[in-house]
Chain A
Amino acid sequence: MKVVIIGNGISGITTARHIRKLSNHEILVISSETEHFFSRTALMYIYMGHMKYEHTKPYEDWFWEKNRIDLLFANVAQVQAKQKQLQLEDGRMITFDKLVIATGSTPKTLEWPGLNLKGVQGLYSKQDVDLMEENTKDITDAVIVGGGLIGIEMAEMLRSRNINVHFLIREQYYWNSVLPKEEASLINKHIAAHHIHLYANTQLKEIIGDENGKVKAVITHDGKKIACQFVGLTIGVNPNINFLQNSEIETDRGVLINEYLETNHPDIYAVGDCAQFRHPKNLHPAVEQLWYTGKMQAETLAQNICGDKRAYERGIWFNSAKFLDIEYQTYGFMFNKPLEDEQSFYWEHPKGKIACRINFKAISKAVTGFNFLGMRFRQQTANDWIKNETPLQNVMQELEKGFFDPEFFENHYLAIVEKFNTDYPEMAISVKKKKKFLIW
């Protein structure tokens, strides 16, 4: 059987690797981005000079031939689902028995005037970073539109070259659509400490160019003009599925799939950023645009393709990010406000760079989720507590077990407990004196 995978990102490659582990199928991976798989999450580090492109490749180049995963550096123009074949941009035809669509995303834009000016771009692909390298040569000021995860990465990238960054965000606080106010304002302060100019409650209205078609300024919705030579658009990403327009594969925002990652066509599947669940579970997004979910979907898909049919089960939600110097880990469903039947406990270090939040059911006191900023926490521990609906008091008693900070780091356990006992005297716990630092 011949399995063809379009896209060599984490979803496509994980699918290929797991199919190889489970079977002897012929596997072909097609990509027009790069010849080999690289880690998209590391693109920012290439720009900042922490790594070179080679370092972002998780497998050495001999790996693919050794594992009989064929690679093709080409662009797919069209999928002919009924004939079970693909047409490449150069006219070549490729047949398949099973097809996996794993084409990822493209940066989202709105209908802003001036979008096509030179110096205006999003950040998603290897090509985008190469373009950014070119677009930011010898510039002094950059505007970033959209306060999400890519936005702050882009800000960090530009600051590494001492470029002034004007960061336009729609809300009062950074990423307040996801982060609760306390966490978001903590990050706001950290953004300011990095000399990034944050424009709160600000939206882009127009991008203005000079006579050479290069960007020279932006105008915000309230009429403010900011001079700049670069505009980064980071308001989100859309599934990359334009090439499927006439393919009889059903799409909406993304390629529509069921919980087995099957499209409307037998033998055609979609996975990762480009896929959209027809019936997402309660609280789950229909399009999952995360590294982790791409990987987990792909593992399930490989099982399905190899005959062991099973539904995609994401398990307890988790995610992580890094906002400049502050690491962020989250477990369970954590939104900017606790759900209606939930309460929330929050602790913040006096220096304002470390924080943790625990959400729990108001009545049963079962914990439902965690946010950690500037402190590392064991996924397994948080996962088990959420899954087993462990009561908050027990969690507080054992919280230290989940600490994952390196040795000798300050032990915040007692400070967290003290705040907890003040906030919830009816649940107060007592702990023996603890070591001040995390050592053996």
Chain B
Amino acid sequence: MSKDISLAVTDGSGANKLQKTGIALLAFGVLATIIAAFGAGATQPVLFFWLSIGFISAGTLVYAYPYFQHEAGIKNNNIFKNGMTNRGAIAWFTGLVLTGFYIILYWFPQYLEGLIRMCDPLSWLLRNKAADQWFLYGTLYTLAVLVMGFRFIGKYRHNRYQIIRTLSVMFFQLGFAFVLPGLLLMFNEPEFYFSYFWPLKYGYLWPNDINYVISSGGLGYFMIFWGAILTFIATPLLTYKYGKRWYCSWVCGCGGLAETMGDPYRQLSDKSLKAWKIERYTVHGVLVFIIITTIMLWLNSAWEGGLLGTWSGNFSQWYGFFIGSIFSGVIGTGFYPIFGNRVWCRFGCPMAAILGLFQRFKSKFRITTNGGQCISCGNCSTYCEMGIDVRAYAQKGKNIIRASCVGCGVCSAVCPRGVLNLENLRDEK
């Protein structure tokens, strides 16, 4: 027998021990969070910040570490045998806790006072002002993207596209959606997110927001200019060249959370034809709605309220409530463990709708299929977070050009026969 042949038949990864340690740290962090919420966070913010957020992060990192120890490759073992990732009781529990957290965050922030105060030291450091519920939310959100991004990189470390893409969403969340807006506040500039644009951040082209940003002077004008350029010039241009993935799975914060914290749930998206039909109505419906709202707000502003009175204001408030809060937050994120990680992006996001229209009708981006090599196994469709039946195209040897595809590249990664590839066709002369 050759010396290349191992005689050892142990798993040898130590995964179980490490993962138990991780769970213990996580449990300790959750406990500390509960204590902090009951008031200890207000009295000893620094201590509880570390006990809570520090231990939760450390626990998750330790739990995810075994991904780096195993042979690099696809690691989807037991996903459909684990209640957490297969809509078991623990998944419903998690979904309800997350949903409840959103409801409290949006409408009853007074109950989060202990946790908000716990974030004061960081808030003062970064923004030179006290924390509020949105700073708490931003902190947790960013940590989730970073910590679960680490896990994602471990899981897909055989695939350089996945590693670089994940580093990108981690960078944009931390830098553009957390640190930079905080620093702007510290320097008494308007809070502005350079990685969000109309129509996802619908306010950025609404008269009220524009007036608020411009009132700060020079930098404000740049912000409006930036937002307008990104919406009207960069969006069509970049989507033409690279598909909507340049935004949805590389930059966007919602996408960033979906790709990192939401990765364990990507297989739960509905792949039926019926779901696709519903998707096309809802996502384009929201887009039409936001365009109408924006136009009305501008008309109303031009006529100084004479045209629609307060009606357009109400309209925009309702949009904010139903779409901005309930759809994108409560359902979009709260229900990760039940409906999958891209419910908002697929059924609701107006930005995804616009990018999708460009991608479908005017883009170089497509998923190409390698000849007749498809074995119809279904890994691609199962792990498509947007619920695209990728296999239906691959088994016919057809390229995939779908409005909803966010270009995450996981179909290509999980394909056991190397059939799928994300490509930007070069300009043919």
Residues of A whose CB lies within 8 Å of any CB of B are 10, 39, 41-42, 45, 48-52, 55-58, 60, 160, 162, 164-166, 172, 185, 188-190, 192-200, 291-292, 295-296, 318, 320-322, 324-325, 327, 329, 376-380, 383, 404-410, 437, 440
Contact = CB atoms under 8 A, between A and B. Distances in A.
B161 A164 contact: no
Contacts of B373: 292, 318, 320, 329, 379
Contacts of B160: 406, 408-410, 437
Contacts of A409: 159-161
Residue picked from B11, B272, B417, B426, most chain A C-beta under 10 Å: B417
Contact of A49 (B12, B77, B416): B77
A50 B161 contact: no
B378 A39 contact: yes
Residue picked from B12, B158, B373, B409, most chain A C-beta under 10 Å: B373
B9 A197 contact: yes
A195 B6 contact: yes
Contact of B71 (A51, A193, A292): A193
Contacts of B4: 185, 188-189, 192
B76 interface: yes
Given A56-B377, A324-B73, A407 B395 contact: no
A427 B290 CA distance: 64
Contacts of A383: 371
B415 to A, nearest CB: 9
A49 B79 contact: yes
A421 to B, nearest CB: 27
A10 to B, nearest CB: 7
B307 interface: no
Interface string B72-90: 1110111111100000000
B74 A408 contact: no
A199 B1 CA distance: 8
Q: Which 10 A-B pairs have the closest CB atoms?
A: A379-B371, A325-B73, A376-B418, A192-B6, A42-B377, A49-B78, A49-B81, A41-B375, A408-B160, A50-B76
Given A49-B81, A325-B72, A376 B370 contact: yes
Contact of A320 (B164, B381, B418, B421): B418
B163 to A, nearest CB: 8
Contacts of B371: 318, 378-380, 383
Given A195-B11, A318-B371, A10 B376 contact: yes
B142 to A, nearest CB: 25
B263 to A, nearest CB: 14
24 contacts: A39-B375, A39-B376, A39-B378, A41-B375, A49-B82, A51-B377, A164-B9, A188-B5, A189-B4, A195-B8, A197-B7, A197-B9, A200-B2, A291-B376, A295-B372, A376-B421, A379-B372, A379-B373, A383-B371, A404-B370, A406-B412, A406-B413, A407-B422, A437-B160
Nearest to A352: B4
B379 interface: yes
B148 to A, nearest CB: 20
B161 A404 contact: no
B2 A318 contact: no
A121 to B, nearest CB: 21
B418 A329 contact: yes
Contacts of A406: 159-161, 409, 412-413, 421-422
Residue picked from A50, A56, A197, A379, most chain B C-beta under 10 Å: A50
B314 interface: no
Contacts of B60: none
A327 B416 contact: yes
B376 A41 contact: yes
B382 interface: yes
B195 interface: no
Nearest to A440: B424
Contact of A50 (B2, B375, B382): B382
B11 A49 contact: no
A51 B373 CA distance: 20
Contacts of A322: 416-417
B392 interface: yes
Given A292-B372, A407-B422, A58 B79 contact: no
B288 interface: no
B391 A58 contact: yes
B77 A48 contact: yes
